[in-house]
Homo-oligomer: A and B are copies of this chain.
């Protein structure tokens, strides 16, 4: 591997995303990307008694499905990197407690999926592992209950609010292979521009996205047109517009090939989610379902995925704190330069 600048690592030897799997909830199953997901659930419980147990089952099954699809024997999987949005990441730890694979819990809020891919790629490239699971989950009901209001309250959501995706995405990252390859990672710094509105996460996270994106361009010498597509994790409609404008002011035009997973996963007209989707599983399922498929089909050959996280909780909001954001980028390409 080569370090480019302070935040980017370029991988010279092949690191393949061997397989992915995605499971989504009922709302996502009615969205425009439904056909790309491996499993679409009919309700938010999936036979479990609580939303938290359902979320654990979703990540467990998504991980298991990705391992089966990859045809890698689970004996040959060296590590699992996983995280979620629940307090103390219980979805991952309960869902994956029977896995029997060395486990690293991670937390990057909604940036967790790319954090997992980043750590996995450094482990694989450095010789610490041959195959690694990178997985995340989120769940609309468990997240609303925990971060906002009890669902039973039926409170009105402001127009800037986003809708936490119910689902899980899991990827198997492997040494060698035939691609799609993880060719570089750009790891984000925490960026806090003082936004305090917990119902406007897109605005809070957009500066972190732009910081990581432009750092990636500067470190690699690339510009937006290098990529067939640039995808943010869950800036939503509002954050997406802010991101495009902020990039413009810094001389980068990303309008033509940039989209946001939170914008893509729900239909704006028929599925009013206000500002779009969010949650670890937003980027996790859109990548593991749609984007991975497009790479395999060669409809995209070079993409940059930048998952965005709001590093906040209910207590910090109540204590008047602003919302620190973070964004981690991974470039995934069908060939290695």
Contacts and interface: CB of A to CB of B under 8 A. Distances in A.
Interface of A: 1, 3, 6-7, 9, 49-50, 52-53, 75, 78-79, 83, 85-90, 93-94, 96-109, 115, 118-119, 122-123, 125-128, 146, 187-192, 311-316, 319, 321, 324, 326
A94 B187 contact: no
Contact of A52 (B94, B102, B126, B316): B316
Contacts of A83: 107
A313 B119 CA distance: 25
B102 A311 contact: no
B90 A316 contact: yes
Nearest to A187: B102
A128 B126 contact: yes
A321 to B, nearest CB: 6
A104 B119 contact: yes
A115 B104 contact: yes
Q: Which 7 A-B pairs have the closest CB atoms?
A: A126-B126, A93-B311, A102-B187, A88-B313, A87-B87, A97-B190, A105-B107
24 contacts: A1-B128, A3-B128, A6-B75, A6-B78, A79-B187, A83-B107, A85-B88, A87-B314, A88-B313, A89-B107, A93-B190, A94-B311, A94-B324, A97-B324, A98-B192, A99-B189, A102-B188, A103-B190, A105-B108, A105-B115, A105-B311, A105-B326, A107-B107, A119-B119
Contact of A96 (B9, B98, B108, B190): B190
A93 B314 contact: no
Given A119-B119, A127-B126, A128-B9, A108 B104 contact: yes
A290 B304 CA distance: 45
Contacts of A315: 52, 86-87, 90, 146
Given A86-B313, A105-B108, A128-B9, A190 B99 contact: yes
Contacts of A126: 1, 122-123, 125-128
B106 A324 contact: no
Nearest to A2: B127
Contacts of A97: 190-192, 311, 324
A127 B313 CA distance: 34
A318 to B, nearest CB: 9
Contacts of A190: 93, 96-99, 103
A1 B78 CA distance: 14
Contact of A103 (B50, B102, B326): B326
A227 B127 CA distance: 27
A176 to B, nearest CB: 16
